[in-house]
C-alpha cells in the first residue's frame, strides 16, 4: 500500500483494493474509538451521580461498563444503536409501527413521489426556458432565487394548508420533496440541453432535422451527463424534505416522526437509530439513481 | 370586494390583464437584450406581475386567508410585527446561522488544508464526506438540541455539522487545482510550503471555496430553521413559522417567510458580490461582465 498513485497504472487487484480501503478503515476505526471515548466522557457525570455515588470504591472499569450500557445515554455507544436497529427491524412484523423499516417505507414513498413530481416539474421548466428567450430572461432568475430561500421554512404551511383542504398522508410531504427536487434538475437540464455545440447543431441542420428531432436525438442525449448528478442531489434533497415534512404535523409514521417522538421522550437511542436508518435510506436511494445512470449511459461518461 | 362583478366580466378582465402582462414582459425581455435596463429589469417585472395576479385573484375569488393571504395582507403583518420579526431575525440569522456558518466553514477549510498534506487521510476522509452528502444531516437536530439546550448554540451546532463536509471537499479540490508548472515556478523562487500555500494555492482554490460558501449559506439557513422545529426559546423564524401556523395566523407566517427569504437571498448575494471582487481573474467571472455572454447566449 506504500505505492504512490500513478495515473493509468494500477497495482494487482488485491493491492489496489487495499490501497483504497485501508485509509477508509483507518478513519472509521479512529471514529469508533473517539465515539466510545466521547460516550464514556459525556455519560460519566450521570452514571456517577445516579449509581456509582451510592457504592464507594468503584473502579474505572465499572464506569466504562455502565456508561456504555445506559438506558437513556447522552451519547449512546455504537453497539447500542446497532442493537436497537437490529431489534426494531427483525424483532417486529413489517407493518408494526415499532419496525423502522415500516417508517422508512413511509418516508421513502413520500420521497419517491416528490422526486417524480419534482423531476417532471424541473424538466418542464428547463424545456420551457431553453425554448423561450422571454421565459429565460424573466423566469430563470426566480428559479435560482428560489434556492437561496430556505424552502424548508414553508414546510409547516404546506402541511397546514393541504391538511385544511383534506389532504393528509403522503401527498403534502411529497409536495415539499418536490420543491427541493425541482431546482437541481431544472438548472442541470437547462445547462445540459444547451450543451450541444454549434457544430453538432449545424450538422443536424444539414440533415434537415426538425426542431423536435434535434431535441430528442441531440439535446436530450447530450443532457444526460448533466441530468444524473442533479438527480442524485435531488433525491437526497427530497429525502430531507420528506423527513422535515413529517415534523410539523406530529405525523405518527415516518423517520421524521421517529426523530420527533424520540426527542420528545428523551429517547436518545431511538433518535440515533432513526438517524442511521435515514442515512441508510439516503444511500440506497442515491445508489438506485447511480444504478439507473450506469444502465442509461453505457460507456460511463463520468 | 369585487363579489358584485359577475364571473364572465372577471374572466375577461383577467384575460386582458394576462395579455398585457405577457406582452410587457416580452417587450422588456426584447429590449433587455440590448442591456438597456441592466439584467434585473425583466425578472423584476415578472415578479411584479406575479404579485399583481396573486393580489387580484385573492380578492376576486375570496380565497380564505388561511389558504393563502394576499400580498397586501402579508405586507401589513410584516409592518405590524416588525419588532417580533426583528428579534426572530437576530436569533435565527445573526446567531444560529451566521455563527454556525463561520465556525463550520472555518473548521472545514482548516481541516482541508491540514489533510491536503496527507494522501492517506484524503483517501480515508473523501469517501466519508461523499457519503455525508447523501445523508439527511438535518436529522441530528434533536440530538444537538438535547446536548446544547434550546438556545442558538444547538442550532449553530447543527449548522456546523451540515456545512463542514461541503467546505472540506471543495477546499481539497481547490488546493489540488494549481498545476505542476506553477508549483515548480514557486519552488524555483525558493518559496516554502506555507509561502506557496498563501501566494499560489489558496488564491487558485478561491472559486471552489466560494462555491462551498454559497452552497453552505443556504444550508445554514435551512439547518437553523429546521432545528427550531425541535424546540427553541420563544424567538426564531422557524419557531414563529411553526407556532403561528398552528394558530392559523397566516399573515405573520408568510411575513416570517419573507424575512427568511430576504435574509437568505441577501447572504447569497453578498457572498456572490465578494466572490466577484476576490476572484475577478477567473474565466467564469470575466465572461459574465462583457459581450461574451451575449455572443454565446443561445
As a whole number, mean pLDDT of residues B56-61 equals 74
Q: 10 Å Cβ neighbour count for A68? A: 18
Q: Kindly determine whether residue A150 and residue B25, on different chains, have CB atoms separated by under 8 Å.
A: no
Share of chain B above pLDDT 90, in %: 5
Per-residue model confidence (pLDDT) at position B99: 92
Q: Kindly determine whether residue B147 and residue A74, on different chains, have CB atoms separated by under 8 Å.
A: yes
Q: Judging by beta carbons within 10 Å of its beta carbon (0-12, 13-18, 19+), is residue A114 exposed, middle or buried? A: buried
A 148-167: CB under 8 A from B: 148-154, 156-157, 160-161, 164-165
A 4-63: CB under 8 A from B: 5, 19-20, 23-28
Q: Which residue of A has its CA nearest to B215?
A: A148
What are the grid coordinates assigned to B19, written together? Answer: 395579455
**Rounded to an integer, what distance in angstroms lies between the CA atom of residue A180 and that of residue A169?**
18
Distance from CA of A198 to the nearest CA of B (A): 10
Most confident of A57-66, B1-10, B102-111, B204-213: B102-111
> Which one has a higher pLDDT value, A57 or A140?
A140
Q: CA-based diameter of chain B, in Å?
A: 84
- Contact between A262 and B142 (Cβ < 8 Å): yes
Q: Which residue of A has its CA nearest to B220?
A: A150
Confidence of residue A7 (pLDDT cuts 50, 70, 90): very low
Q: Which residues of A touch B166 (CB under 8 A)?
A: none
Range in A7-11, A288-292, B155-159, B213-217 with the lowest mean pLDDT: A7-11
The 10s digit of each residue's pLDDT in B242-271 is 788 778 788 888 888 888 888 888 888 888
Integer-rounded Cα radius of gyration of chain A: 25
In 3-state terms, what secondary structure has residue A68?
Answer: coil
What DSSP string runs through B116-158?
Answer: TT-HHHHHHHHHHHHHHHHS-GGGGHHHHHHHH-SSHHHHHHH
Per-residue model confidence (pLDDT) at position A155: 75
Q: Judging by beta carbons within 10 Å of its beta carbon (0-12, 13-18, 19+), is residue B175 exposed, middle or buried? A: buried
**CATH superfamily of the A100-296 domain:** MetI-like (1.10.3720.10)
Whether residue A104 is predicted with pLDDT greater than 70 in this model: the reply is yes
Whether residue A2 is predicted with pLDDT greater than 50 in this model: the reply is no
- Contact between B227 and B154 (Cβ < 8 Å): yes
Q: Which residue of B has its CA nearest to A154?
A: B257
Residue with cell 444560529: B96
In 3-state terms, what secondary structure has residue B261?
Answer: helix
As a whole number, mean pLDDT of residues B100-126 equals 88
Within chain A, strands assigned E span none
The 10s digit of each residue's pLDDT in A29-46 is 888 888 888 887 887 777
What DSSP string runs through A159-213?
Answer: HHHHHHTT--THHHHHHHHHHHHHHHHHHHHHHHHT-S-HHHHHHHHHTT--HHH
**Rounded to an integer, what distance in angstroms lies between the CA atom of residue B298 and that of residue B294?**
8
Q: Kindly determine whether residue B139 and residue A134, on different chains, have CB atoms separated by under 8 Å.
A: no
CATH fold for domain B78-295? MetI-like fold (1.10.3720)
- Return the closest-CA partner of residue A193 out of A233, A221, A231: A221
Q: Which residue of B has its CA nearest to A233?
A: B134
The 10s digit of each residue's pLDDT in A259-286 is 888 877 778 888 888 888 888 888 888 8
Backbone angles phi, psi at A169, to 5 degrees: 85, -135
Q: Which of A1, A153, A183 to mutate to test the interface with B (most CBs of B within 10 A)?
A: A153
- Return the closest-CA partner of residue B98 out of B159, B42, B51: B159
Q: Kindly determine whether residue A262 and residue B142, on different chains, have CB atoms separated by under 8 Å.
A: yes
Q: Does A206 touch chain B (CB under 8 A)?
A: no
The 10s digit of each residue's pLDDT in B147-182 is 888 888 888 998 998 889 889 888 888 888 888 888
Per-residue model confidence (pLDDT) at position B127: 81
Confidence of residue A299 (pLDDT cuts 50, 70, 90): low
Q: Judging by beta carbons within 10 Å of its beta carbon (0-12, 13-18, 19+), is residue B150 exposed, middle or buried? A: middle
Q: Which residue of B has its CA nearest to A283?
A: B134
Residues 6 or more apart whose Cβ sits within 8 Å of residue A79: A68
Share of chain A above pLDDT 70, in %: 88
- Contact between B51 and B43 (Cβ < 8 Å): no
- Reported as type and span, the H/E element at residue B178 is none
- Contact between A181 and A113 (Cβ < 8 Å): no
Per-residue model confidence (pLDDT) at position B289: 45
Per-residue model confidence (pLDDT) at position B65: 67
Distances (CA, A) of A63 to A42, A56, A191, A207, B103: 12, 12, 58, 79, 33
Whether residue B298 is predicted with pLDDT greater than 50 in this model: the reply is no
Q: Kindly determine whether residue B140 and residue A275, on different chains, have CB atoms separated by under 8 Å.
A: yes
Distance from CA of A239 to the nearest CA of B (A): 7
Angle between helices B250-278 and A155-164 (to 10 degrees): 150
- Return the closest-CA partner of residue A246 out of A148, A168, A183: A168
- Contact between A103 and A167 (Cβ < 8 Å): no
- Nearest residue, CB atoms, B124 vs list A23, A243, A266: A23
Whether residue B219 is predicted with pLDDT greater than 70 in this model: the reply is yes
ipTM higher than threshold 0.90: no
CA angle A8, A14, A15 (to 5 degrees): 60
As a whole number, mean pLDDT of residues A220-225 equals 84
Per-residue model confidence (pLDDT) at position B59: 73
The 10s digit of each residue's pLDDT in B29-42 is 766 666 555 566 77
Per-residue model confidence (pLDDT) at position B109: 93
**Rounded to an integer, what distance in angstroms lies between the CA atom of residue B147 and that of residue A294?**
42
Per-residue model confidence (pLDDT) at position A120: 93
Range in A143-147, B67-71, B92-96 with the lowest mean pLDDT: A143-147
- Return the closest-CA partner of residue A251 out of A107, A92, A101: A107
| A140 Cα distance to chain centroid | 26
In 3-state terms, what secondary structure has residue A71?
Answer: coil
- Return the closest-CA partner of residue A29 out of B279, B67, B128: B128
**Rounded to an integer, what distance in angstroms lies between the CA atom of residue B26 and that of residue B40?**
14
Q: Which of B25, B38, B134 to mutate to test the interface with A (most CBs of A within 10 A)?
A: B134
What are the grid coordinates assigned to B101, written together? Answer: 456558518
What DSSP string runs through A242-293?
Answer: HHHHTTTTT-SSSHHHHHHHHHHTT-HHHHHHHHHHHHHHHHHHHHHHHHHH
Q: Which of B136, B230, B239 to mutate to test the interface with A (most CBs of A within 10 A)?
A: B136
Q: Does A262 touch chain B (CB under 8 A)?
A: yes
Distances (CA, A) of A122 to A143, A154, A240: 10, 19, 18
Distance from CA of A161 to the nearest CA of B (A): 5
Confidence of residue A196 (pLDDT cuts 50, 70, 90): confident
> Which one has a higher pLDDT value, B35 or B273?
B273
As a whole number, mean pLDDT of residues B63-90 equals 80
- Contact between B218 and A150 (Cβ < 8 Å): yes
Q: Which residue of B has its CA nearest to A22?
A: B124
Whether residue A232 is predicted with pLDDT greater than 60 in this model: the reply is yes
Cβ pairs bridging A and B (under 8 Å):
168
- Return the closest-CA partner of residue A176 out of A264, A238, A234: A238
**Rounded to an integer, what distance in angstroms lies between the CA atom of residue A62 and that of residue A66?**
6
Whether residue A52 is predicted with pLDDT greater than 70 in this model: the reply is no
**Rounded to an integer, what distance in angstroms lies between the CA atom of residue A256 and that of residue A250?**
9
Amino acid at each position: 500500500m506504500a505505492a504512490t498513485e500513478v495515473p493509468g497504472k494500477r497495482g494487482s487487484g488485491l493491492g489496489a483494493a487495499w490501497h483504497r480501503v485501508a485509509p477508509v478503515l483507518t478513519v472509521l476505526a479512529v471514529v469508533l474509538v473517539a465515539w466510545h471515548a466521547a460516550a464514556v466522557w459525556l455519560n460519566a457525570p450521570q452514571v456517577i451521580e445516579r449509581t456509582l455515588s451510592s457504592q464507594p470504591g468503584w473502579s474505572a472499569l465499572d464506569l466504562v461498563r455502565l456508561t456504555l450500557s445506559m438506558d437513556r445515554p447522552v451519547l449512546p455507544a455504537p453497539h447500542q444503536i446497532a442493537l436497537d436497529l437490529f431489534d426494531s427491524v427483525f424483532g417486529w412484523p413489517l407493518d408494526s409501527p415499532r419496525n423502522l423499516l415500516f417508517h422508512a417505507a413511509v418516508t421513502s414513498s413520500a420521497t419517491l413521489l416528490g422526486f417524480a413530481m419534482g423531476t417532471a416539474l424541473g424538466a418542464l421548466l428547463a424545456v420551457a426556458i431553453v425554448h423561450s428567450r422571454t421565459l429565460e430572461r424573466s423566469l430563470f432568475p426566480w428559479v435560482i432565487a428560489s434556492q437561496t430561500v430556505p424552502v424548508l421554512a414553508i414546510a409547516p404551511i404546506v402541511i397546514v394548508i393541504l391538511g385544511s383542504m383534506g389532504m393528509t398522508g403522503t401527498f403534502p410531504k411529497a409536495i415539499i420533496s418536490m420543491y427541493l427536487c425541482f431546482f437541481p434538475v431544472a438548472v442541470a437540464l437547462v445547462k445540459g440541453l444547451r450543451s450541444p455545440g454549434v457544430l453538432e447543431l449545424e450538422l443536424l441542420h444539414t440533415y434537415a432535422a426538425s426542431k423536435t428531432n434535434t431535441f430528442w436525438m441531440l439535446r436530450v442525449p447530450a443532457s444526460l451527463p448533466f441530468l444524473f448528478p442533479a438527480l442524485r442531489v435531488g433525491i437526497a434533497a427530497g429525502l430531507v424534505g420528506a423527513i422535515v415534512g413529517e415534523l410539523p404535523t406530529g405525523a405518527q409514521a415516518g423517520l421524521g416522526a421517529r426523530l420527533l417522538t424520540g426527542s420528545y421522550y428523551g429517547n436518545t437511542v431511538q433518535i440515533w437509530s432513526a438517524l442511521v436508518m435515514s442515512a441508510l435510506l439516503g444511500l440506497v436511494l442515491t445508489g438506485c439513481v447511480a444504478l439507473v445512470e450506469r444502465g442509461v449511459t453505457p460507456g460511463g461518461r463520468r | 370586494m369585487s363579489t358584485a362583478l359577475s364571473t364572465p366580466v372577471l374572466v375577461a378582465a383577467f384575460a386582458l390583464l394576462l395579455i398585457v402582462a405577457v406582452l410587457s414582459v416580452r417587450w422588456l425581455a426584447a429590449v433587455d437584450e440590448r442591456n438597456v435596463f441592466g439584467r434585473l429589469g425583466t425578472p423584476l417585472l415578472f415578479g411584479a406581475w406575479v404579485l399583481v395576479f396573486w393580489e387580484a385573484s385573492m380578492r376576486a375569488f375570496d380565497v380564505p386567508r388561511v389558504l393563502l393571504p394576499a400580498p397586501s395582507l402579508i405586507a401589513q403583518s410584516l409592518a405590524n410585527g416588525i419588532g417580533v420579526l426583528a428579534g426572530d431575525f437576530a436569533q435565527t440569522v445573526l446567531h444560529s446561522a451566521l455563527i454556525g456558518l463561520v465556525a463550520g466553514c472555518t473548521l472545514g477549510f482548516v481541516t482541508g488544508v491540514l489533510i491536503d498534506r496527507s494522501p492517506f487521510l484524503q483517501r480515508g476522509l473523501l469517501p466519508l464526506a461523499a457519503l455525508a452528502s447523501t445523508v439527511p444531516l438535518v436529522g441530528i437536530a434533536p440530538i444537538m438540541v438535547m446536548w446544547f439546550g434550546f438556545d442558538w448554540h444547538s442550532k449553530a451546532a447543527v449548522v456546523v455539522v451540515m456545512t463542514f463536509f461541503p467546505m472540506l471537499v471543495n477546499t481539497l479540490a481547490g488546493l489540488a487545482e494549481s498545476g505542476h508548472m506553477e508549483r515548480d515556478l514557486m519552488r524555483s523562487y525558493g518559496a516554502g510550503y506555507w509561502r506557496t500555500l498563501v501566494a499560489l494555492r489558496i488564491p487558485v482554490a478561491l472559486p471552489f471555496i466560494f462555491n462551498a460558501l454559497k452552497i453552505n449559506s443556504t444550508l445554514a439557513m435551512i439547518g437553523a430553521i429546521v432545528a427550531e422545529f425541535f424546540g427553541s426559546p420563544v424567538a426564531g423564524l422557524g419557531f414563529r413559522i411553526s407556532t403561528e401556523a398552528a394558530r392559523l395566523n397566516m399573515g405573520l407566517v408568510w411575513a416570517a417567510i419573507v424575512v427568511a427569504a430576504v435574509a437568505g437571498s441577501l447572504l447569497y448575494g453578498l457572498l456572490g458580490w465578494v466572490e466577484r471582487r476576490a476572484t475577478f481573474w477567473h474565466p467564469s467571472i470575466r465572461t459574465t461582465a462583457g459581450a461574451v455572454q451575449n455572443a454565446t447566449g443561445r
